[in-house]
Amino acid sequence: MIQFENVFKEYSNGVVAASNINFKIPSGDFVFLVGPSGAGKSTLIKLLIREEQVSRGRILLDGEDITKLRKSQIPKLRRDISVVFQDYRLLDKKTVFENIAYALEIQGESKANIKKAVDEVLELVNLSNKANEYPDQLSGGEKQRVSIARAIVNNAPVLVCDEPTGNLDEETAWDIINALIKINKKGITVIMATHAVNIVNDMQRHVISLADGHVVKDIEKGGYYENNSPNN
């Protein structure tokens, strides 16, 4: 369970990007963070992985207040909450397999364990046949699925995706969503910040809507605007 309690974030330039934010994301949830550009979606993600620190309030991960973590504890937080970005961030000189294996190698995993774990996540994102290709041989949708596979290979219980389909056409975006659905079915909490109205509407899942740093709507199952006009 992730809980935001009375969270405020004011940047040093005086912009209040999060204002009295309160919500709960149960373990195993699939939740969309929606809202116009500048609404505060990325800020909430940065607060959640302690890339930014709250000005006030608490953020609980399974009951533990992550705003209180010491610097030395932050790498552990980032293993528990893995993030995928719009721009993939793959290593060009490494193959798909090597991109995914890299984090496990640094941790000193055995070759056999690495092979097993990487093969498993490649199958989950439907890319077993691309293991030996390089990123520049892949389509945008395939690159994003590699970055998702890399994010989950460590068994993080929470996967956060910041506009993962932002650079992709709608059909390709659905390949990403289908991979995320499979991942969510394994019990991983999926949090996705997005502008993709059609996807959010078709999915009918938990939707937290932000505007101007406020939560303006939090519905357990619904669409992008849900009883709201696009202009609100």
- Indicate which single residue of 30, 40, 168, 199 sits in contact with ligand ADP (rule: CB under 6 A): 40
In degrees and rounded to multiples of 5, residue 193 shows phi and psi of -85, 130
Minimum Å gap between C-beta 193 and ligand ADP is: 6
Minimum Å gap between C-beta 54 and ligand ADP is: 13
Q: Which stretch binds ligand ADP (CB under 6 A): 41-49, 63-71, 123-131, 199-207?
A: 41-49
Binding status of residue 227 toward ligand ADP by CB under 6 A: no
Residue among 90 and 210 whose Cβ is closer to ligand ADP: 210
Residues in binding contact with ligand ADP, number by CB under 6 A: 12
- Indicate which single residue of 7, 17, 54, 190 sits in contact with ligand ADP (rule: CB under 6 A): 17
Minimum Å gap between C-beta 112 and ligand ADP is: 41
Binding status of residue 135 toward ligand ADP by CB under 6 A: no
Which residue, chain included where needed, has tokens 């090597």? Answer: 98
- Indicate which single residue of 10, 24, 28, 38 sits in contact with ligand ADP (rule: CB under 6 A): 38
Binding status of residue 11 toward ligand ADP by CB under 6 A: yes
Q: Residues in the site for ligand ADP, rule: CB under 6 A?
A: 11, 13, 15, 17, 35, 37-43
